[in-house]
Amino acid sequence: MDQNAVVNEQTESGKRLIETLATAGFDVPIAFWAKPTDDGKWFLYLASSIVDEKGPAVAYRSVQEVLRRIPNLWIDLLEVKVIGLKDSLTQAALAVMKPTVADGPFAVRHTKPYPGMTRFDGTVLGGVSIDGAYFYPQSQPVA
């Protein structure tokens, strides 16, 4: 798989994973693909209160259980990062997705790679140097 782009299969698989997690009771109010500059590959970030309340180990186990139940998914657990709602990346993602008149200086809504996704062209997100990010539409408001 091309490490320089988020392909349609990945974004569609991410959407399927997020929807399945929601039906399993795993809230994901904001999710996004980002490519940290230091890692050189794309990761699916899932922000959830479960990380804050029960810890990342419990969150990863839940995600792994759901991943096993979804056939033909283009996502491996090693491509998933679970983060809490208080995490700096989550807060930055929420700021990017917050509706504004001009949608901010770096956020651009596109139909690709997935309809409704927002591309972020900034170079830093939540204090992390990135080469790009794509945000899924928010599933529910974050308090």
Domains of the chain by residue range: 8-135
Position 2 confidence tier, pLDDT thresholds 50, 70, 90: very low
**Burial tier of 91 (Cβ tally within 10 Å: 0-12, 13-18, 19+):** middle
Alpha helices in 70-103 (DSSP H): 88-97
Give CA angle at 113 (108, 114), nearest 5°. 90
| pLDDT of res. 112 | 47
76-114: pLDDT as tens digits: 999 999 999 999 999 999 998 886 555 555 555 544 455
